[in-house]
Structure 1
């Protein structure tokens, strides 16, 4: 480690970048060590954006096929032009992507604040690379959700529970919507992502894994508390 940046262990930057998306899943420690002193974030942002656009486009296709949307779009038996439908899909993808990266940026700022508070020698660019790479498990979770996506059941709380969520288990024992939504905030893919962030911080700063996890899961706990507050504030 040098000046809070990750140490270079592989000079083949292009090959390393492509392999990071896979090695982060089975060899995360080596992956974080190979990021380099000044990791380029553009390729990570591009790949995440591409994956998110693909997922959102699939969801938008399903949303437009729901009976409620069909009723709104085809009122008085007038078929909505294809150009308008494509524009709606584009707007859904655009705003969803903007929101996704906005939330990632918020997580980055919060994580950076925690890192600085804990006086860990980690640069902002290296932290950004760690956070972006650590989103891979959550992308996998969203892809695994595809076979179970049913747009006509969006009002069904149980149908909206993500794969890997504790809410799936809780829903087998209770029909309490509030309890199910609360448990749904605990997702194995999200926890996996925060664990990777903690590991990345540990590797980059040469601190203990315990301290790295503390730095990352403080943010997870904060997000969980905020989501829980929303659940209890919204009407059932």
Structure 2
């Protein structure tokens, strides 16, 4: 578009804006005001450019930035949809394993914290104790994707305090009583569910007590 065409479009936009202002139901038309502001911006752009410059939206930095933002937002929405689909599929898988009684044999994967949340949502916010225990045991034993220290660190931001306290207590007990069978440690889940903060404190105390000491260190 050349300057004359832009000027004509701007005049039309101003005319429609004046018309809208006379009607109460159109006075707050955001789209009309935005269109007028855009034509004013383009007119100023051409006014500051060299004579006979033609407006090309493909070279307009503002338009290009808007298109890039729209594309990024669309990609974000698509990624969110794909993530939700993966979570739902994994939730179906874990639910099937629960029904078969083999959940504890499954290896946790990245994103299973969100799957736990999905199962909780499906159950009407009912606490998923068995899934929480499964994740706590895997976290304590560094199983599945929890073999990665970064994944274990990230779990603190994804899992609720009772699950984290349960995992911490199991980890401490594994060092203190390494021969204990899993069935002997079921009390850890009950403690964590009832008193997560106290359980975390107990786990820290036990971890400190079992921390190997440096034989070369002299007493204070």
Which of 1 and 2 has higher RCO (CA within 8 Å, sep 6+)?
Answer: 1
Structure with larger Rg = 2
TM-score by length of 1: 0.25
